[in-house]
Amino acid sequence: MSKDPIQVGLSSASVFPLNVHDAFAVSHDLGYDGVEVLVTGNHLSQDPRKLHELSTRYDQPILAIHAPTLLLTQQVWGDAWSKIEMSAAMARDVGCDIVVVHPPFRWQGGYATGFADGVKKIMDDYGVRIAVENMYPWRARGREAKMYLPHWNPVPQPYEYVTWDFSHAAIANVDSLESIKALGSRLSHVHLCDGVDNGKDEHLVPGRGTQPVAESLQFLRDSEWDGHVVVEVSTRKAKGAGGREEWLAETLRFARKHLEAVEPPAGTNEAGDAGNTSDSSTLRS
């Protein structure tokens, strides 16, 4: 029996500066499998009841909640632990079990030093998986500034669940395929995009950067990975009417192309062995 294909969702960040309502509409119109909601200052992104209504209206399940742990969302939902706890509560309320969070900044004191243990406690309390996202080194005047504690790279850290982002990997000059292999079953969620090592977090359409995105998706497909791939492409520079939708449709086609099951050659079974081709010649002694 063949495994169900990996679902491909759309992050509400991909329609910025439009809002989460637009994300559900675009996801539905283009044929995505669901939506990841980035919690921002927009009231719709913070209201589980309204999110549930949007999910039902557009027939788009909510696949993940992205906690407001970005620099740009520092004023949303209070202190650092409140951001994660409220995101976990909302994930439970809307029926998904993945919460995406960024690693702590060095200046966040006890939150940063107790991050791994605190994340585990909230997971136990709310019954969700909190997947820590890979980030990248910040550079100033050619030197790396230590922004994250303990590190921007989650692979060697004691996190039970991890989100992998190809754009962040490009800035860090990290090979995503090797990192995904190293993570193994800890990889729980993927942000699909691309990038180049130019210090800019561009979130390009896959294939327009330097990361082994196609090979990584094929590896996930062949290893029967059971997480979600969520498109997180920046469309702010898309030109003309429908430009945003064209980029997001292109990315969805890319994802499905590399995640779809590979049919065995004609005349072989699912194990790749030659089928029974008995004829008069094979019956001769």
Q: What are the 10-residue block averages of pLDDT along the chain, 285 residues in total? A: 81 95 97 97 95 98 96 87 97 97 92 94 97 90 78 95 98 97 97 92 95 98 95 92 94 96 60 45 34
How far apart, in whole angstroms, are the C-alpha atoms of residue 47 and residue 65?
12
Q: Where are the domains of the chain?
A: 8-259
Q: What is the pLDDT of residue 10?
A: 98
Q: What is the pLDDT of residue 269?
A: 56
Please provide the DSSP assignment of the chain as one string.
-PPPPPPEEEEGGGGTTS-HHHHHHHHHHHT-S-EEEEP-SSGGGG-HHHHHHHHHHHT--EEEEE-S-SGGGTTSSSSHHHHHHHHHHHHHHHT--EEEEPPPBGGGHHHHHTHHHHHHHHHHHHT-EEEEEP---EEETTEEE--BSS-S--TTS--SEEEEEHHHHHHTT--HHHHHHHHGGGEEEEEE-B--SSS----BPTTSSSS-HHHHHHHHHHTT--SEEEE----TT--STTHHHHHHHHHHHHHHHHHSPPPPPTTB-TTS-B-----TTTT--
In CATH terms, the superfamily for domain 8-259 is: Divalent-metal-dependent TIM barrel enzymes (3.20.20.150)
Q: What is the pLDDT of residue 261?
A: 74
Q: What is the pLDDT of residue 146?
A: 80
Q: What is the pLDDT of residue 245?
A: 96
Whether pTM exceeds 0.85:
yes
